[in-house]
């Protein structure tokens, strides 16, 4: 089966005054099958959001992108503007981290969803209203007819995120990019939103590109996980096995830094050191300076992502010791 989304050697640099100011993504390969949920995990600055945005070509003008992104047989990075706009919101849509600012405060919620429906489906105001009510019901918002007339500030964060999801699934997309969709919400709300996303995904079969810094969350939600570090994939594989038995020291460090995994009474673990800044090009493994297992070869030549069986890949010389 061919992949729905194929990211091939994607690299993104940000330039300032003609010079490369930051290298956000340094050659990423990812694949996403129809209906699959892929978790993309890493610390701030590892390139996960940049990767997500480049699928929609939403990066700022200062970004220089290379590589290929193929969605449903079409080369996204080479697509003309108008075809790209037809893709956005209709075939590929996105749920943002902060629903509160993602709606225009001066319009009622429903109108903003209707705009999108009218734009993509070529339907009139009546039909779009019916569609919006239906979608708001699907995301389990109470009293959709009334809710759609409310202004964004009259809704709670959780309700807004549900509305955001309703907008994202308005045109039945085949790919949903979720950029930390629960980070701005309470823990209990986050659970509900995830449960909602999962049931919608099961029912409608869209693929999810799930960006998060929380490995546990991703493990619950996704079929496969890719861990990013300094703009590269360091480990990928099926979620369940990978989280039970991480093979890259960075994945391991991320997991033990989760409060839920720590034992009561023991100090919370942190990954020592910092993510390398966007410009320097390490001669070896980018994680080596923070890695407990680092040895000489780690700093002299970078390890490449290599399959280790069971659908897993790791970019580490010492994965067997991790």
Partner 1 sequence: MSAAADWASAAAAAPEARAGVLRALRRDPVALAASTLLALVVLTTLLAPVIAPYPGQGRGTADVAARDLAPGAAHLFGTDHLGRDMLSRVIMGSRPALGSAAAVVVLAVLIGVPLGLAAGYFGGKVDEGLMRLTDLFLSFPPLLLAMVIAALLGPSLVHAVVALAISWWPWYARLARTVAQSLRHAPFVDAARVFGVRAPAILARHVLRNALTPILVQATVDAGTVILAIGSLSFLGLGSQPPLPDWGLMVSDGRTTVLTEWWIATFPGLAIFVVALGFNLLGDALRDVLDPRSGR
Binding residues for partner 1, rule: CB under 8 A, are 56, 58, 61, 85-90, 93-94, 96, 98, 100-107, 115-116, 119-120, 151-153, 167
Compute the least distance from the CB of residue 45 to partner 1, in Å.
Answer: 15
Closest to partner 1 by CB, 87 vs 185, is: 87
Closest to partner 1 by CB, 103 vs 221, is: 103
Compute the least distance from the CB of residue 317 to partner 1, in Å.
Answer: 39
Closest to partner 1 by CB, 104 vs 156, is: 104
Compute the least distance from the CB of residue 101 to partner 1, in Å.
Answer: 4
Q: Rounded to the nearest 5 degrees, what angle is found at the Cα of 72, between the Cα atoms of 205 and 231?
A: 90
Residue 135 and residue 170: Cα distance in Å, rounded? 6
Closest to partner 1 by CB, 102 vs 192, is: 102
Compute the least distance from the CB of residue 229 to partner 1, in Å.
Answer: 25
Three-state DSSP class for residue 125: helix
Partners of 216 in beta bridges:
none
Compute the least distance from the CB of residue 1 to partner 1, in Å.
Answer: 27
In 3D space, the residue among 96, 98, 100 whose CA is nearest the CA of residue 151 turns out to be 100
Closest to partner 1 by CB, 56 vs 239, is: 56
What does the DSSP assignment read for 231-252? TEEEEEEEHHHHHHS--SHHHH
Half-sphere exposure of 245 (CA within 13 A, CB side): 10
Radius of gyration of the chain, Cα coordinates, nearest whole angstrom: 21
Confirm if 148 and 134 have CB atoms less than 8 A apart: no
Partners of 11 in beta bridges:
26, 66
Closest to partner 1 by CB, 2 vs 104, is: 104
Structure tokens at 126: 């009546």
In 3D space, the residue among 225, 216, 287 whose CA is nearest the CA of residue 256 turns out to be 216
Compute the least distance from the CB of residue 12 to partner 1, in Å.
Answer: 17
């Amino acid at each position: 089966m061919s992949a729905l989304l194929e990211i091939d050697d994607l690299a993104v640099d940000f330039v300032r005054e003609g010079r490369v100011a930051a290298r956000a993504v340094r050659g990423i390969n990812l694949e996403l099958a129809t209906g699959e949920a892929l978790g993309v995990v890493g610390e701030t600055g590892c390139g996960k959001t940049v990767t997500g945005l480049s699928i929609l070509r939403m990066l700022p003008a200062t970004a220089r992108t290379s590589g290929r992104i193929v969605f449903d047989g079409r080369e996204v990075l080479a697509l003309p503007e108008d075809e790209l706009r037809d893709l956005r919101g209709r075939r590929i849509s996105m749920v943002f981290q902060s629903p509160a600012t993602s709606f225009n405060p001066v319009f009622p919620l429903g109108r903003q969803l209707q705009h999108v429906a009218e734009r993509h489906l070529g339907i009139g105001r009546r039909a779009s209203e019916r569609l919006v009510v239906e979608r708001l019901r699907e995301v389990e918002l109470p009293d959709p007819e009334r809710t759609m007339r409310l202004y964004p500030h009259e809704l709670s964060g959780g309700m807004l995120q549900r509305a955001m999801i309703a907008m994202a699934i308005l045109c039945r997309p085949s790919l949903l990019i979720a950029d930390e969709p629960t980070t701005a919400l309470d823990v209990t709300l986050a659970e509900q939103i995830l449960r909602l996303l999962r049931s919608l995904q099961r029912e409608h079969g869209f693929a999810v590109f799930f960006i998060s810094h929380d490995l546990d969350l991703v493990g619950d939600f996704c079929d496969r996980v890719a861990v990013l570090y300094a703009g590269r994939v360091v480990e990928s594989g099926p979620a369940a096995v990978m989280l039970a038995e991480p093979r890259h020291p960075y994945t391991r460090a991320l997991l033990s830094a989760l409060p839920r995994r720590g034992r009561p009474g023991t100090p919370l673990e942190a990954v020592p050191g910092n993510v390398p800044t966007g410009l320097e090009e390490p001669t070896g493994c980018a994680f080596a300076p923070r890695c407990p297992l680092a040895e000489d070869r780690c700093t002299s030549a970078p390890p490449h992502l290599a399959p280790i069986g069971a659908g897993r890949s790791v970019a580490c010389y010492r994965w067997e010791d991790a």
